[in-house]
Amino acid sequence: MTKLAFLGLGVMGYPMAGHLQAAGHDVCVYNRTTTKAEAWVKEHGGRMAPSPREAAGGAEFVMACVGNDDDLRGVCLGPDGAFGGMKDGAIFVDHTTVSAKVTEELYAKAQEAGLNFVDAPISGGQAGAENGQLSIMCGGDQTAYDAAEPVMNTYAKLCRRIGDTGAGQMTKMCNQIAIAGVVQGLSEALHFAEKAGLDGRAVVEVISQGAAGSWQMANRYETMLDDAFDHGFAVDWMRKDLGICLSTANETGASLPVTALVDQFYKDVQSMGGGRWDTSSLFKRLRKLAG
């Protein structure tokens, strides 16, 4: 049994922490909203703590899955931060999608405190978290990754170290860039089929078996056609991630014209009141534009 802490019990963190407890680990959770932590303990067992520092006390691994750069700094640093409660040599594993800049900052602070830090953003959505089938892309020191990998495999179908600190976050940016273009392309294909008087389901049945096939097509086309957009990653969070991608592209000199365009399309979805709709709601935007 390994003593673990898990910080952040959102739609991803809640089931991920549950997998760790079910695997026989001793898990202590922290969540900003205490009622969510109470519900988790009632459902899964384990323990809860009133602060990240107390949750991390004595833990060999501290996993985090929070909202953004500021949220991550908040659970790591300060008098109530996890870094202050972690024992020498313990490993902090960050599953949040954040900027590589904050990752490098926290890695340096962890090193100063005698701790290890692995950036390990995730992909696979809520279903992937619930089913323990996430893809995890990691950056950090090899020895820290090697120690943390067996723990992460509890909820992963694939876990890989891509490179040094920040490489995991950079890879997650590649993931979001690829998704943005695919979802827009799928939305346009379904919209075109609809306007052409075709049966969208029949169209997808055929084209999904060829070069056009994708995870988004297989898992989202039916809900898109049914005008149901509460099945995954929210537009608000996607815009946060794409903002990180575009900002980093400016720093590195990368050209992301399609990503920048799709980001503006998601801004339109937000103005429609769809900030909490899932990312496939780009299709709803096209339906609205067409009237």
How far apart, in whole angstroms, are the C-alpha atoms of residue 23 and residue 153?
A: 11
Which residue's structure tokens are 């609205």?
Answer: 288
Closest CA to 99 of 111, 109, 107, 90: 107
**How many CB atoms neighbour CB 72 within 10 A?**
25
Give the chain's end-to-end CA distance (angstroms, integer): 58
**Which residues, 6+ apart, have CB-to-CB distance to 245 below 8 Å?**
173, 176, 177, 256, 259
SS3 152: helix
172 annotated active-site: yes
Q: Name the residue among 87, 91, 95 with its Cα closest to residue 58.
A: 87
Distances (CA, A) of 23 to 131, 132, 245: 13, 11, 35
Is residue 40 helix, strand or coil? helix
Q: Where are the beta strands (DSSP E) in the chain?
A: 3-7, 26-30, 47-48, 61-64, 91-94, 116-119, 122-123, 134-139, 156-163
- Give yes or no for a contact between 65 and 10, defined as CB atoms under 8 angstroms apart: yes
3-class secondary structure for 195-240?
HCCCCHHHHHHHHCCCCCCCHHHHHHHHHHHCCCCCCCCEHHHHHH
The structure tokens 């149901």 sit at 228
- Given 36, 109, 172, 195, the catalytic residue: 172
Q: List active site positions.
A: 172
